[in-house]
Amino acid sequence: MTAPTTFRIGGDLEVRRLGFGAMRLRPGDDEEAHAAHIAVARRAVELGVTLIDTAHLYGWGANEDLLAEALHPYPDDLVIATKVGIRHTATGEGWRHAGEPADLRVQVDEALRRLRLDRIELLQLHRLDPAVPIPDQLGALRDLRDEGKVGRIGLSEVTTAQLAEAQAVVDIASVQNRYNLLDRDYEPVLKACEAAGIAFLPWRPAAAGQSGAMAEIAAVAKEADATPTQVVLAWLLAHSPVIVPIPGTTSIAHLEENVGAGAVHLTQEQYERLDRVAATETP
């Protein structure tokens, strides 16, 4: 099976289909660790990654700061996608929803400053705020898009009903939900994205690859001369043309392994065997 190598987010923003999730990268007091995380971000770009996913939540801005330190000025073809809609708290779970229009506007300005950008090409709402009507939240992001601060708008962790309600307010370019070979609860959302041409960015996309002892995954990996992680990422690429995986790591070796999944070509028979894994095995 030969899967497309690129996808046009929003119909016009072309990225390679294997992106990089930067969540685990952090600046810090340890100079060696800091330099290592900078090196991972730079190596991702060297390997041809053109989509890097970050968020305000990841270190409360520290992740965005690190990416700017590592990569600015950005290559022309590099898309830094970030997320807003969550604020830090000193109590409870450590965070709260923050979907009020005025707050979203401030968060976008903060992200632009940290990332050293004039425009965020893909801005995703990290979580819908249950206390704020969806039209108000998406309307605020639509206004920011119309002002030129945002290029395209995405969502994260949404249902098909929430996606439909958001689409009634503004064009949705991407959805970022948890999804992998063994965790397909959001299959209906993926199908809705396929129907609308919306990019589907699964987080934890390689989780099943950590279960290398699972017989079928291990067998296909051996046949394909690949690692279990590469095989489950290749399955995602073959499963739907709108899937844009964003595996993350703090290791250059693991980064290279992940990006190498793009060169793994599954046969139809191998794809079908993997496709049956979730129904026959548990992690």
Per-residue pLDDT tens for 171-196? Answer: 999 999 999 999 999 999 999 999 99
Express each pLDDT in 224-242 by its tens digit: 999 999 999 999 999 999 9
Distances (CA, A) of 125 to 58, 97, 120, 122: 14, 10, 13, 10
- Could you list the beta-strand ranges (E) of 142-254: 150-156, 174-176, 199-200
Compute CA 125 distance to the chain's CA centroid, rounded to the nearest angstrom. 12
Q: Longest C-alpha distance within the chain, in Å?
A: 54
Range with the lowest mean pLDDT among 75-89, 249-263, 269-283? Answer: 269-283
- Residue 78, H or E segment: none
**CA atoms of 247 and 181, how far apart (whole Å):** 13
CA 270 remoteness from chain centre: 26
Q: CA separation (Å) from 14 to 6, 43, 133, 142?
A: 7, 20, 32, 21
The reply to whether 58 belongs to the active site is yes
Name the token pair of 100: 């009020």
pLDDT at 134 over 70: yes
Q: Which of 14-18, 68-72, 145-149, 272-276 has the lowest mean pLDDT?
A: 272-276
Beta carbons of 113 and 155 less than 8 angstroms apart: no
* Mean pLDDT estimate for the chain: 94
* 210 pLDDT higher than 70: no
Can you say how many angstroms the Cα of residue 10 is from the centroid of all Cα atoms in its chain? 15
- Long-range contacts formed by 12-17: CB under 8 A, 24+ apart: 13/79, 13/121, 13/122, 13/151, 13/152, 13/173, 14/50, 14/77, 15/50, 15/51, 15/79, 15/244, 16/48, 16/49, 16/50, 16/51, 16/262, 17/237, 17/243, 17/244, 17/245, 17/262
Amino acid 28: pLDDT: 75
What number of CA atoms fall less than 13 Å from residue 151's CA on the CB side?
18
Estimate the share of the chain in helix, then strand, then coil, as percent rounded to the nearest 5.
45, 15, 40
Q: Give the per-residue pLDDT at 92.
A: 80
pLDDT given for residue 280 in this prediction:
57
> How are beta strands 6-9 and 13-16 bridged, if at all?
antiparallel
pLDDT band at 79; cut points 50, 70, 90: very high
Question: Taking 70 as the threshold, does the pLDDT of residue 212 lie above it?
Answer: no
State residue 51's pLDDT score.
98
The tokens for 254 are 């693991």
pLDDT greater than 80 at residue 101: yes
**Domain boundaries in the chain?**
6-207+240-248
Q: Is the pLDDT of residue 207 over 90?
A: no
Selecting among 58, 179, 186, 271, the annotated active-site residue is: 58
H-state helical runs in 72-133 = 101-115
At the top level of CATH, the class of 6-207+240-248 is alpha beta
Q: What is the mean pLDDT of residues 4-31?
A: 93
Report the candidate in 22, 79, 18 with the shortest Cα–Cα distance to residue 232. Answer: 18
Contact by Cβ (8 Å): 247, 257 = no
